Chains A and B, each alone.
Chain A
């Protein structure tokens, strides 16, 4: 039973560029959440997707956007990258109405 898979594992981008990160949820899960984890910090909630719509959003600017596909997989897009966007981006999947979140190993984004 595959867990949460994220791609790519590492990425280097230049300031001002755009990036797309991908996530496939655990089998049986229909909800995907994205988190940003800066070095030495706990993960920060970006937003959650269910039924291809954004349900709730954390304190992140509109440069951060997402999408969920009919097969429940999801993308996180970040526009106009800043140096401060360098972080580990984590995807977590769950089933709506149920407790329990499974995290992927993350995508390490470095902005130079």
Chain B
């Protein structure tokens, strides 16, 4: 079936460096994509979203890139801080679907 998956389960970066988390999706009908951050014991926290009519969107220290040709989504975090340590999920919403489809997540570890 359709799925959203992540390339790496764990990403370790030095504090202050930029982080890039990648995500592949397979549902070509998806029209909305979201990145969530989830800390231990908490629910997913919205980071940034992008609709399929865009290929880039920027927020505070974060940028999401969407490549519909290869069905790839990425999250860039600038100047990574200790508070960025968490599991990051990409999620997609297909046309006509009410629910979000999540990937398994990438655990971002910040090294001092």
A residues adjacent to B (C-beta < 8 A): 4, 33, 35, 40-45, 47-48, 55-56, 58, 90, 92, 99-106
Give the chain B neighbours of A55 by CB distance below 8 A: 98
Q: Which residue of A lies closest to B3 (CB)?
A: A42
Does B44 have its Cβ within 8 Å of any Cβ on chain A? yes
Does B108 have its Cβ within 8 Å of any Cβ on chain A? no
Does B89 have its Cβ within 8 Å of any Cβ on chain A? yes
Contact with A along B64-75 (1 / 0, CB 8 A): 000000000000
Given A35-B102, A102-B46, A103-B44, 13 extra CB contacts under 8 A: A33-B99, A35-B99, A45-B100, A48-B98, A56-B97, A56-B98, A90-B43, A92-B100, A99-B49, A99-B93, A101-B34, A103-B36, A106-B42
Give the chain B neighbours of A4 by CB distance below 8 A: 43
When the two chains form the complex, which single residue of A45, A101, A103 contacts B101, counting CB atoms closer than 8 Å? A45
B54-112 CB contacts (< 8 Å) to partner A: 89, 91, 93, 97-105
Report the bound CA distance from A65 to B34 in whole Å: 27
Report the bound CA distance from A92 to B98 in whole Å: 12
Task: Report A57 CB to chain B, min CB distance, Å.
Answer: 9
B37-54 CB contacts (< 8 Å) to partner A: 41-46, 49, 51
Task: Report A68 CB to chain B, min CB distance, Å.
Answer: 13
Q: Which residue of A lies closest to B51 (CB)?
A: A99
Give the chain A neighbours of B89 by CB distance below 8 A: 42-43
Q: 7 A-B contacts, Cβ less than 8 Å apart?
A: A40-B104, A40-B105, A42-B4, A45-B100, A47-B99, A58-B99, A101-B34
Task: Report B64 CB to chain A, min CB distance, Å.
Answer: 14
Contact with A along B5-49 (1 / 0, CB 8 A): 000000000000000000000000000101010000111111001
